[in-house]
Structure 1
Amino acid sequence: MFNKKVWGSLVMAAVLLVTVGCGSDAKSTSEEKTDSAAKVYKIGISQIVEHPALDATRQGFIAALKDAGFVEGENLKIDYNNAQNDQTNNLSIAQKIAGDKDDLVLAIATPSAQAVVQQVKDTPVLFAAVTDPIAAKLVDKLDQPSGNVTGASDSNPEAIAQLMKFISTNFKEVKKVGLIINEGETNAIVMADKAKTELAKYGIELVKAPVTNTSEVKQAADSLVGRVDAFYVTLDNMVVNGFDAIVQTANKKHIPLFTSDRDTVENGSFATVGFKYYDHGYQVGQMAVDILKNGKKTNELKITVPDKLDLILNLKAAEAQGIAVTDQMKAEVKDPANNIIQ
């Protein structure tokens, strides 16, 4: 017969072994969870220049990440780089980002996206504020882009068509529209060609005034005075960077000024057909969440375009430019509470 004391000791030893084993497993599981929760995601951002539309894009992107639980200073580290519209800086930033171990890269505006896509090959790349990603050679197709690149275009060709129709319908005296343009920027060329085609339908000519740097914008605007009946500005980073000079000329000479995004309307142009760049950036931020949190691949995320288009009017700019805003113009605004700027 077994000694009861011996038997009791054996049972207690077995219990201790099981408890220690379970405790070890629990500790291991706890450590794994802690390690996972402690992961800090790194995102590199390249932005070509500071101006309201691109800044709003970045802010919307970061807001979408925050809403999904990615918070700077906690589990998110953002390396923000601005090229200040200098192509040498732009390339250097792309090369630096390529050498970093980021979880994801965001390129804001076409020149930044082109440089980043050339340099970054193994990390998911998202782009924003790009007019034509195929013409810019960022992706091969829109629905299922191959490689490591996807994102959102900030141009819906329908927006240009609607704006040019608005001009022809409400400004019968406009026979020539002046365009200050950096012809070295792919997105500006694409939009200019679309505007030219649309204006031609109404017998209106597009007159270009090329620039090669921002300091030439005012001179270009002044050179169009007396030659055109209205101004138009595309999503041209170089030109938008000198936008205040165009506003000054338009106001001084009472020339209607039309642009391609809400931010420039808020900053002095009369009208556009557009959307909020903050919302555009937020949309790209949601794509980043799909990649970082939900494990999506870039080729599973199609290129998106703005789909909430509306006419946006600035009544103060209208007064400064000598424009009589009619009830017919206002009636074309779908959301007057937000898109008629007093």
Structure 2
Amino acid sequence: MKLRSIFQSVIISTTILSCAIQAKPVYVATTAIVEHPALDAIRDGVKEVLNENGYTGDNLKFTYESAQGKTDIAAQIARKMVGDEPDVIVAIATPSAQAAVTVSDSIPVVFSAVTDPLGAKLIPNLVKPGGNVTGLSDMANIGEHFSLIKEFVPNLKAIGIPYNPGEANSVSMLAQAKKVAAEMGIKIVESSAPRTSDVMIAAKQLVGKVDAIYAPIDNTIISAVESIIKVGMDAQIPVFAGDTDTVSRGAVAAVGYDYFDLGRQTGEIVIRILKGEKAGDIDVKMAKGTNLFVNPKMAKRMGIEVPAAVLARATKIIE
């Protein structure tokens, strides 16, 4: 009887331990270089997909940390995340992705909102990148963006681009912009803004030199885009953006991605990893979907009108 009692106790203990292991929540750690609407929307999209796939409540540990626009903080966050041993790290925007990839050699890293993952040296190739890294690129169609600007400004000769030379995605974007602009007979005037406090100065340096300002998908620029909007209103230079979320903040127009949907696309990659696929076996995805947002009120405040043809095909009109 005593042996039987011991055997039953072992079975009960084993069952309790098994249940405890099964009850362990999936841990997805997310980080972004800075908080702004587009990157926040990606985070929220990832979480929604996790919830839809049964990872919710006690079944999910979901954390988020912002690096507040500072690469040194991004590195600290990445090291802390690796120490916490999550099941997956979701790194939003190039600096955070670079920080995570540098310190994680086994924990899967899924990047999102990275313009040029090859140029940022996150992966060696887009197809089956190998290792523990994959993700989603939001490479913008610069030609489409510049064509939209030309609809608003038919005699467009020069576009000003403030950017952070310390962001790999911005350097790649600028190179692409110069190539596209040359093909269209447009001059690019660049203006450096290494910090958010430099953004207004960079925008002011473009006054008198350009017919329009393009605020690219650059985390430093987007974080302080209101400074550029103010310069645009004061100098009567229309400001356009590389992301649609910036239109509600004062840009005249933008054709681009729905970043919440990009978050959902990123979330689908995370689900595949949680179900057993290796990150390095998953091809890097290119963002899908295009929206056109316009802000007629801000167009007037910057001295132009929204063309009827643009209004007719707009996905969303900001009132």
Kindly indicate whether the alpha-carbon contact (under 8 Å) linking 2:152 and 2:305 is maintained by their aligned counterparts in 1.
no
Aligned to 1:61: 46
Aligned to 1:325: 306
Query: RMSD value over aligned CA atoms?
Result: 2.3
Using structure 2 for the length normalisation, give the TM-score. Answer: 0.92
2:186 to 204, 214, 219: 204
Kindly indicate whether the alpha-carbon contact (under 8 Å) linking 1:129 and 1:154 is maintained by their aligned counterparts in 2.
yes
Q: Is residue 252 of structure 1 aligned with residue 234 of structure 2?
A: yes
2:278 to 292, 297, 309: 297
Aligned to 2:287: 306
Gaps of 5+ in 1: 1-16
- Please give the alpha-carbon distance, in whole angstroms, between the structure 2 residues aligned to 1:310 and 1:69: 30
4+ long deviations beyond 3 Å: 23-37
Offset of residue 330 of structure 1: 2.5
Q: Deviations over 1:195-245 (max 9, x none)?
A: 111122221100011112111111111121111110011111111111111
2:97 to 102, 110, 113: 113
- Please give the alpha-carbon distance, in whole angstroms, between the structure 1 residues aligned to 2:132 and 2:149: 40
How do residues 214-293 of structure 1 correspond to structure 2 at under 5 angstroms?
214-292=196-274
Q: In structure 2, give the amino acid aligned to 1:119.
A: V
Kindly indicate whether the alpha-carbon contact (under 8 Å) linking 2:152 and 2:306 is maintained by their aligned counterparts in 1.
no
Kindly indicate whether the alpha-carbon contact (under 8 Å) linking 1:168 and 1:202 is maintained by their aligned counterparts in 2.
no
- Please give the alpha-carbon distance, in whole angstroms, between the structure 1 residues aligned to 2:125 and 2:50: 26
- Please give the alpha-carbon distance, in whole angstroms, between the structure 1 residues aligned to 2:253 and 2:21: 49
Aligned to 1:124: 108
Secondary structure at 2:185 match in 1: coil
Kindly indicate whether the alpha-carbon contact (under 8 Å) linking 1:144 and 1:302 is maintained by their aligned counterparts in 2.
yes
Q: Is residue 340 of structure 1 aligned with residue 306 of structure 2?
A: no
- Please give the alpha-carbon distance, in whole angstroms, between the structure 2 residues aligned to 1:30 and 1:341: 58
Offset of residue 29 of structure 1: 9.3
- Please give the alpha-carbon distance, in whole angstroms, between the structure 2 residues aligned to 1:95 and 1:37: 27
Aligned to 1:43: 28
Aligned to 1:193: 175
Aligned to 1:3: none
Kindly indicate whether the alpha-carbon contact (under 8 Å) linking 2:248 and 2:318 is maintained by their aligned counterparts in 1.
yes
Aligned to 1:4: none
- Please give the alpha-carbon distance, in whole angstroms, between the structure 1 residues aligned to 2:197 and 2:144: 31
- Please give the alpha-carbon distance, in whole angstroms, between the structure 2 residues aligned to 1:178 and 1:327: 25
Q: Is residue 75 of structure 1 aligned with residue 52 of structure 2?
A: no
Q: Deviations over 1:36-71 (max 9, x none)?
A: 541211222221111111111111111111111112
Q: Bigger CA drift: 164-173 or 45-54?
A: 164-173
How many pairs align?
316
- Please give the alpha-carbon distance, in whole angstroms, between the structure 2 residues aligned to 1:203 and 1:29: 73
- Please give the alpha-carbon distance, in whole angstroms, between the structure 1 residues aligned to 2:98 and 2:41: 20
Secondary structure at 2:111 match in 1: strand
Offset of residue 33 of structure 1: 6.8
Kindly indicate whether the alpha-carbon contact (under 8 Å) linking 1:160 and 1:273 is maintained by their aligned counterparts in 2.
no
Q: In structure 2, give the amino acid aligned to 1:105.
A: I
- Please give the alpha-carbon distance, in whole angstroms, between the structure 2 residues aligned to 1:106 and 1:307: 19
